[in-house]
Amino acid sequence: MDVDDPSPRVDGGGVDPPRIRRLEESVVNRIAAGEVIQRPSSAVKELVENSLDAGASTVSVTVKDGGLKLIQVSDDGHGIRFEDLPILCERHTTSKLSAYEDLQTIKSMGFRGEALASMTYVGHVTVTTITEGQLHGYRVSYKDGVMENEPKPCAAVKGTQVMVENLFYNMVARRKTLQNSNDDYPKIVDFISRFAVHHINVSFSCRKHGASRADVHSASTSSRLDAIRNVYGASVVRDLVEIEVSDEDAGDAVFKMGGYISNANYVAKKITMILFINDRLVDCTALKRAIEFVYAATLPQASKPFIYMSINLPSEHVDVNIHPTKKEVSLLNQERIIEIIKNAIEEKLRSSNTTRIFQTQAINSSALMPANTQKEKGTEVKMSSGMKSQKTPVSQIVRTDPRNPSGRLHSYWHGQSSNLEMKCDLVSVRNVVRSRRNPKDAGDLSSRHELLTEIDSHCHPGLLEVVKNCTYVGLADDVFALIQHNTHLYLVNIVNVSKELMYQQALCRFGNFNAIQLSEPAPLLDLLLMALKDDELVCDENDEEKLEIAKVNSEILKDNAEMINEYFSIHVDQDGNLIRLPVVLDQYTPDMDRLPEFVLTMGNDVTWDDEKECFRTAAAAIGNFYALHPPILPNPSGSGIQLYKKNKDCMTGGEHVDRTDEDDIDQELLAEAETAWSQREWTIQHVLFPSMQLFLKPPKSMATDGTFVQVASLEKLYKIFERC
């Protein structure tokens, strides 16, 4: 048997393990190089960073064939000493770091001494450089980390020029994928544009080889907005607002952020996020997501933001050494920093968009709907085709009996009685009218401020940590969901947390809600009567008393209409019709079956004569209405399906009809219930949980009132399994 054969041999019953051998250094280096220089744009980024580290004030980039044929970066920096040229392109040679501890305070972008070396393993590198005071420069080429020839004297202008030719010439697969995929040039332009926005005192240019015009050409300037205008155009700058924030809680502010963010007028399909942390161009996925979420929650869906943000932290708070190309960094207190930035952006957006009226826009509902709801679209058309779309009295469209398929308020959404159709429209209708008020009026109200401070002071830090960093596992039953945090599993009461989240959001968005427009005005009186019909406290026989109560409550709401409209976007017109409701959480509309109860609570339970109590009770009523209660229709899964059996007497009119089990079930009602339940499940996972992680400040009471219950610790479970 050949001892060098690495493949395992099956001989009789035995398997020879493959031999372990030391890789040749050139192979190791080439593998490592492939990691550092993943594509032409990563080479450009490394070279430009070297130029910036060398103190250049001009950096010019020329690219041929998306960087595969040629990348040339020239700068006017300090140049490279003649004596250093022999080791310039060896792995781990650098002028920026000598001891590991230096990493803690490093200011330069490079420090690993790997970039140039890597390029010589996967391409042909030629360096031309001159240092100050020299009469001539030197040119030298490198291959596999070493000089190919002695440095040749040559004429040179101040600084360094690095030329990389035939990148990945020796990595066939990489070259092929890059050739097949879109050319890397746009990515290169993108990098240079970002550098140009941040390093405003350096002038950058980037062009294709042989092109007379540069695709990025920035001149050194003292104004950030000029730099952004230069690269991204005047139309972007017009819609930017400045943002600045620092960590006020910390004695000596350790964290500072400054930059520009787009306002509500800015329209783009994709987010542009230019992030520099301690002057390093980096990605921070968590921060990017949080920002996108704030924009989606505050502004119309269609537009993604433009963000330029520069964050400064003490260098010992940033671990730059977690990624070979230093693309991602890890921060101390990342959660906290993200939270502060998120709040600052939210505040900024609200206050900078005081006059904008948003256009009506239909969003693509299919993108937001769970897959199983989309499937039902097919049936829904058929079912709705024979139905009328005239106005229906409110008493017939509000569900008062869970088993009664006729009678639900959903038809208000689009004036159609088709309940299934509504379910898609329900999501798309939310953008109908968005008008904003001057948040100053509302923002300065001290009682609202006190309520927000109470939320903060009651927040349970342990639970906050659990909520922020948990993973959603799934629904345990109708009310509880299972989440995992580190090695612990918790049951979370969905109704309680969503109620609290909505309450807090109602106070946070106070005076600045987007609106859900009801497509037909809903008379308060009818809604109140509906609610009272279900109310067991009011004696059933006494209809007159009910009418009286309804009238009183309707009057109370009409009297306070201006206030509830202004602060909570609950719009009641002069005739006592409900017209609009607030968007408390983006992408979410409350269960309209609960609207009558909500109106009754607003009329009955809100304290109107004390400002703070009024805000608290109104926000609580909103919280209760918008919470993710189980749908009124019973859960049809498992034995729940029995509840959807038809009432035989009524269905057959006394005649004897042979029925299969299938026919016994009220299919329409069942389909509706299934949709409601699956939609709720989808919403819990995709809307409630992400929002909870970003916004909820769980009160201390939730640790003891059964809202969060720790059910298992994985360590203990493992121990149990070990024993088994």
Q: Among residues 65, 75, 380, 425, which is the contact residue for ligand ADP, using CB under 6 A?
A: 75
Work out the number of other CB atoms within 10 angstroms of the CB of residue 578.
Answer: 24
Choose from Mg ion, ligand ADP, none: what does 514 bind? Cβ within 5-8 Å by kind.
none
* Min separation Cβ 310 and ligand ADP, Å: 21
Q: Is 113 in the site for Mg ion (CB under 5 A)?
A: no
If the CB atoms of residues 205 and 411 are measured against ligand ADP, the closer one turns out to be 205
Q: Which two tokens stand for residue 336?
A: 């906290």
Q: Is 110 in the site for ligand ADP (CB under 6 A)?
A: yes
Q: Is 77 in the site for Mg ion (CB under 5 A)?
A: no
If the CB atoms of residues 108 and 519 are measured against Mg ion, the closer one turns out to be 108
**Helix count (H) and strand count (E) of the chain?**
28, 27
> How far is it, in rounded angstroms, from Cα 530 to Cα 524?
10
Choose from Mg ion, ligand ADP, none: what does 80 bind? Cβ within 5-8 Å by kind.
ligand ADP
* Min separation Cβ 426 and ligand ADP, Å: 55
Task: Report whether 493 contacts 688 (CB < 8 A).
Answer: no
How many angstroms separate the first and last alpha carbons of the chain?
A: 44
Q: Which two tokens stand for residue 339?
A: 């939270």
Size of the chain, expressed as the number of residues it contains: 724
Task: Report whether 606 contacts 570 (CB < 8 A).
Answer: no
Q: Interface with ligand ADP by CB under 6 A: which range of 93-101, 216-224, 429-437, 604-612?
A: 93-101
> How far is it, in rounded angstroms, from Cα 602 to Cα 598?
6
Choose from Mg ion, ligand ADP, none: what does 160 bind? Cβ within 5-8 Å by kind.
ligand ADP
Q: For 353-474, where are the alpha helices, taking DSSP H only?
A: 365-368, 371-375, 377-385, 394-397, 419-428, 439-443, 446-458, 461-469
> How far is it, in rounded angstroms, from Cα 353 to Cα 361?
18
611, with CB counted inside 10 A (0-12, 13-18, 19+), is middle
Q: Is 96 in the site for ligand ADP (CB under 6 A)?
A: yes
Q: Interface with ligand ADP by CB under 6 A: which range of 31-39, 114-122, 540-548, 644-652?
A: 114-122
* Min separation Cβ 148 and ligand ADP, Å: 17
**Collapsed DSSP state (helix, strand, coil) of residue 8:** coil
1, with CB counted inside 10 A (0-12, 13-18, 19+), is exposed
Q: Among residues 36, 88, 115, 581, which is the contact residue for Mg ion, using CB under 5 A?
A: 115
Choose from ligand ADP, Mg ion, none: what does 145 bind? Cβ within 5-8 Å by kind.
none
Q: Interface with ligand ADP by CB under 6 A: which range of 46-54, 136-144, 580-588, 661-669?
A: 46-54
Q: Is 94 in the site for Mg ion (CB under 5 A)?
A: no
Q: Is 111 in the site for ligand ADP (CB under 6 A)?
A: yes
Q: Is 160 in the site for ligand ADP (CB under 6 A)?
A: yes
Amino acid letter for position 232? Y
362, with CB counted inside 10 A (0-12, 13-18, 19+), is exposed
If the CB atoms of residues 79 and 576 are measured against ligand ADP, the closer one turns out to be 79
Q: Which two tokens stand for residue 57?
A: 């004030």
Site residues for ligand ADP, window 238-267 (CB under 6 A)? none
> How far is it, in rounded angstroms, from Cα 79 to Cα 129?
6
Query: How many residues belong to the site for Mg ion (CB under 5 A)?
Result: 3
If the CB atoms of residues 43 and 261 are measured against ligand ADP, the closer one turns out to be 43
If the CB atoms of residues 119 and 432 are measured against ligand ADP, the closer one turns out to be 119
- Neighbouring C-alpha atoms within 13 Å toward the C-beta of 298: 31
Q: Which two tokens stand for residue 302?
A: 């269609």
If the CB atoms of residues 97 and 473 are measured against Mg ion, the closer one turns out to be 97
Q: Where are the beta strands (DSSP E) in 313-372?
A: 318-319, 330-331, 357-358
Q: What are residue 132's phi and psi, to 5 degrees?
A: -60, 140
Site residues for Mg ion, window 169-198 (CB under 5 A)? none
> How far is it, in rounded angstroms, from Cα 48 to Cα 191?
9
Q: Among residues 37, 85, 116, 599, which is the contact residue for ligand ADP, using CB under 6 A?
A: 116
Residue nearest to Mg ion (CB): 110
Query: How many residues belong to the site for ligand ADP (CB under 6 A)?
Result: 22
Query: Max CA-CA distance within the chain?
Result: 112
> How far is it, in rounded angstroms, from Cα 483 to Cα 492?
7
Between the alpha carbon of residue 44 and those of residues 190, 260, 316, 561, the distances in Å are: 11, 26, 27, 61
Site residues for Mg ion, window 26-55 (CB under 5 A)? 50
* Min separation Cβ 112 and Mg ion, Å: 7
> How far is it, in rounded angstroms, from Cα 483 to Cα 475?
9
Nearest Cα to 114, choosing from 127, 101, 96, 126? 96
Q: Is 72 in the site for ligand ADP (CB under 6 A)?
A: no
> How far is it, in rounded angstroms, from Cα 83 to Cα 410?
80
Q: Interface with Mg ion by CB under 5 A: which range of 70-78, 107-115, 403-411, 653-661?
A: 107-115
If the CB atoms of residues 194 and 326 are measured against ligand ADP, the closer one turns out to be 326
Q: Which two tokens stand for residue 649?
A: 């007497």
If the CB atoms of residues 73 and 564 are measured against ligand ADP, the closer one turns out to be 73
If the CB atoms of residues 112 and 199 are measured against ligand ADP, the closer one turns out to be 112
Choose from Mg ion, ligand ADP, none: what does 54 bind? Cβ within 5-8 Å by kind.
ligand ADP
Q: Is 80 in the site for ligand ADP (CB under 6 A)?
A: yes
Q: Interface with ligand ADP by CB under 6 A: which range of 75-83, 434-442, 549-557, 564-572?
A: 75-83
* Min separation Cβ 95 and ligand ADP, Å: 3
Q: Among residues 68, 70, 85, 115, which is the contact residue for ligand ADP, using CB under 6 A?
A: 115
Q: Where are the beta strands (DSSP E) in 537-691?
A: 571-572, 577-583
Task: Report whether 402 contacts 633 (CB < 8 A).
Answer: yes
Q: Interface with Mg ion by CB under 5 A: which range of 106-114, 627-635, 656-664, 706-714?
A: 106-114
Q: Among residues 29, 46, 422, 672, which is the contact residue for ligand ADP, using CB under 6 A?
A: 46
Q: Among residues 63, 71, 85, 88, which is the contact residue for ligand ADP, using CB under 6 A?
A: 88
Q: Which two tokens stand for residue 62?
A: 């020329």
541, with CB counted inside 10 A (0-12, 13-18, 19+), is exposed
Q: Interface with Mg ion by CB under 5 A: which range of 105-113, 210-218, 239-247, 479-487?
A: 105-113
Q: Among residues 113, 123, 259, 582, which is the contact residue for ligand ADP, using CB under 6 A?
A: 113
Q: Which residues of the shown chain bind Mg ion in the complex (CB under 5 A)?
A: 50, 110, 115
Residues that bind ligand ADP (CB under 6 A): 46, 50-51, 54, 75, 77-80, 88, 94-96, 110-117, 160
